A = this chain, B = another copy of it.
Amino acid sequence: MTEFGKVGIVVRNIARADAAAVERLGRHGVATVHEAQGRAGLLKPWMRPVWPRAAACGTAVTVLAHPGDNWMLHVAAEVIRPGDVVVVGVTTDNDDGMFGDLLATSYRSRGARGLIIDAGVRDACSLADMQFPVWSRAIHARGTVKATLGSVNVPVVCAGMLVNPGDVVVADDDGVVIVPRERAAAVGDAAEARERKEEATRKRLAAGELGLDIYGMREALAKAGLKYVD
């Protein structure tokens, strides 16, 4: 694996998570996948979808960029393969609109399924019209320069989470979660098991049963000293 955060490098060929495992993960929501891998892998809550009900699942092409500079996002287009989600970490907190409808058009034509960027984006209405899924920390028209080298497909931190090229990215209205490439199948299994269990619980709750009883919490609560008064 290339060195974390190394600048000035484009890695053309990366190992990607198994396509079948990615498809299976894509059937679950972010909350389920996050639980299924032991409450890990989430990006910070400031990462929000640009349009309602956006959802995406794919393999990470990573980008390390500088604030207000989207040069590397153009470089990344060339290494996108169908099924990828581009994940952009930025060296400094920045809300500039580093991605818009032109890059979205390019990424889509290369087969990208979405973008995760710890900065701003613009052309929000066009992105919604195109139904190109984007998660960002801001929406802002501010344009960018193309002046400083970053990298493509090196490990990066995006919104507080380490992302390695080829990892699985799952994103929906609850945020974004990363599943390490090697764990994709195992987490998929766990997510399916969890969903089956939740479905059963949902029915019992809908019928008026209490979580206190379904999950057997009463004893632990009493032991912890909870007192009921009228």
Contact = CB atoms under 8 A, between A and B. Distances in A.
A26 to B, nearest CB: 15
A67 B94 contact: yes
Interface residues of A, number: 97
Interface string A85-110: 00000011111110011110110111
Interface string A157-196: 1001110000000001111010010000000000000000
Given A5-B41, A105-B202, A175 B141 contact: yes
Interface string A26-39: 00011100110011
6 closest A-B pairs by CB: A45-B140, A141-B174, A147-B147, A106-B205, A31-B141, A74-B211
A115 interface: no
Number of copies: 6
Interface centre among A140, A217, A221 (most CB of B within 10 A): A140
Contact of A10 (B4, B123, B142, B229): B229
Contact of A208 (B4, B12, B109): B109
A141 B42 contact: yes
A149 interface: yes
Contact of A142 (B92, B146, B173): B92
